[in-house]
Structure formats: C-alpha cells, structure tokens
Amino acid sequence: MGEEATLAGRPLPPGPLGETVKLGAMLVEQTATHLLTKAYVGNRLNCTSCHLDNGMHGAAATFLGVATAYPAWAPREGRVITLEDRILNCFMRSENGVRPPLGSRPSVAIAAYITWLSEGQPLRMNAERSLGPNAVAPLKAGAAQADARSGAVLYADRCAYCHGEDGQGDDDSPPVWGAESYNDGAGLARVPKLAAWLKVAMPPDEADLTEQESLDLAAFVNSHQRPRFRLEDHLPKPDRMGEYNSRRDP
C-alpha cells in the first residue's frame, strides 16, 4: 500500500480527486502564469495575492471553511450562487480578466481545493452574503474617517519597499494600483473592504496596523487609477459560459 499523499501537511483524497485538489492549489498560487488560467487573467495578480498563504492564512480572506457557506445569497448578483460562481466572478473583478467557463478544468480544480480546505467543518449556507464563516470582519470606523494624505506618508514608510513607490510591486509583491492590479469592480476597490483586509493581512510577517492606519492606507491606495469594470468586457462568449464535463457520451 502506497504512502498517503499530502499537501501542506494535510492528507489528500486518493486518485483523480486528490490530483484535482493539487491542481487547484497550484492554480491559486500561479493564477496569472499557469497555462490553464493565464488566458482568463488580465493583470499580474494571483488568487494568493489576496487569499494569503494559498488561502490557508487564518484571517486574510481565508479559504478555510468557505465551501460550507455555499450555495449562498449574493447581494451584488441578486441571486443565489454556487462556490464555482463565486470563484469565476473573481476572475472578472480581482483578476480583471474574463470569466472562465463553468465546469471547466480550472473552475472545478479551484473549487475542489477550497472544498478540501473546508472538510470536517459544519455546513451552513449563507442566506445573507456570499462569504464563508471566517470572512474578514468589517472595521468599526467607516470610509469617511479615512485620510489619504496620512495614508501616503504611511505607504512611503511601510509599503513602498515591497510594492514600489509607483505601486507596481515586483516578482514577490503584487501591484496595488494601475493597469496590473484589481479593477474598480473588485471588493477591495472599496475603502472599507480594503482597510479591513489590510488590518489582518499587512505586513504579512506580522499584521500590526491600527484601524486608522488601515483606513488611511486603503484611501491612499484606492485614490489611484485602476481599470474600469464593465461587465460586458469580462463575460465570455455565450457558447463559452459553461462546459459539459463528462468524458463519456450520454
């Protein structure tokens, strides 16, 4: 009997399912460059640029437990959506790309990986929003209390070393504004959402920003130009919206 396959210290399912989970982890890490996903990505961001540690970070947009919340009500879409829907919509907004076909290999692989990270947790579909049980909590203060000028000083002091004075990052750090970053339809394009994420995620070695610093930084980052979201630009052709994923004839 062979040795049990693992990923990040966790046991993988046997056979093709385990291989699909491994592929999903790879796509989350290499979204912008992997052969299966790069055609659907319009910037230099990978899923793990926001879902830190390949979604295994406990606080920064974690994937842990996410699959237990779906199907879920999505206020933005005005309908109940599946986990696959949620993943594919991120390609249009955070990745500034084109929505991959539902049921396609990358779609199923990423969904399998996120579901694997939710194994053993209780199922509780979310009737209010399309978020998992460990979603980033909103800050008490709102966008009105943000000061972009203070954020500029803070960015130069604490963020520019990795993300660059021009916000374009490098091979290790993602761009935070401009053509290669998320578009203005992404959740992080809203100051309160970005601030809440910054509070638990940055700096990555030890998140220590105060709520006010997080708000100020978010206001500064989002004061810069970024791609404009127009839904029709990010939807595939009608015949590429979904795939029949059986390998056999009916």
Q: What is the CATH number of the domain that holds 167?
A: 1.10.760.10
Residue 200 CA to residue 208 CA, distance in Å, equals 8
Query: Which has the closest alpha carbon to 143: 193, 191, 184?
Result: 191
Tens of pLDDT, residue by residue over 150-170, are: 999 999 999 999 999 999 999
Given the structure tokens 């084109």, which residue do they identify?
A: 98
Are residues 185 and 123 located together in one domain of the fold? no
For residue 28, is it within any domain?
A: yes
Report the pLDDT value the prediction gives residue 117, as an integer from 0 to 100: 98
At which of 83, 103, 135 does a domain end?
135
Report the pLDDT value the prediction gives residue 19, as an integer from 0 to 100: 98
For residue 192, is it within any domain?
A: yes
The answer to whether residue 175 scores a pLDDT higher than 50 is yes
For residue 8, is it within any domain?
A: no
The answer to whether residue 246 scores a pLDDT higher than 70 is no
Tokens found for residue 185? 């339809």
Given the structure tokens 């109940």, which residue do they identify?
A: 80
Are residues 29 and 59 located together in one domain of the fold? yes
pTM exceeding 0.85: yes
* Residues 17-29, mean pLDDT to the nearest whole number: 98
Are residues 131 and 25 located together in one domain of the fold? yes
Task: Please compute, for residue 30, the number of CA atoms within 13 A of its CA located in the half-sphere on the CB side.
Answer: 11
Are residues 204 and 123 located together in one domain of the fold? no
Give 63's pLDDT tier (boundaries 50, 70, 90).
Answer: very high
Report the pLDDT value the prediction gives residue 250, as an integer from 0 to 100: 46
Are residues 118 and 50 located together in one domain of the fold? yes
Are residues 25 and 124 located together in one domain of the fold? yes
For residue 6, is it within any domain?
A: no
Domain around 38:
14-135
For residue 23, is it within any domain?
A: yes
Average pLDDT score over the chain:
95
* Alpha helices for the chain (secondary structure H): 15-29, 83-93, 105-116, 148-158, 160-163, 191-201, 211-221, 231-234
Tokens found for residue 120? 């053993």
- DSSP-derived secondary structure letter, 97: S
Are residues 112 and 33 located together in one domain of the fold? yes
Tens of pLDDT, residue by residue over 96-140, are: 999 999 999 999 999 999 999 999 999 999 999 999 999 999 999
Name the domain count of the chain: 2
At which of 135, 166, 185 does a domain end?
135
Are residues 131 and 148 located together in one domain of the fold? no
Query: Which has the closest alpha carbon to 92: 221, 229, 237, 242?
Result: 229
Residue 138 CA to residue 142 CA, distance in Å, equals 9
Are residues 124 and 165 located together in one domain of the fold? no
Are residues 50 and 77 located together in one domain of the fold? yes
Give 142's pLDDT tier (boundaries 50, 70, 90).
Answer: confident
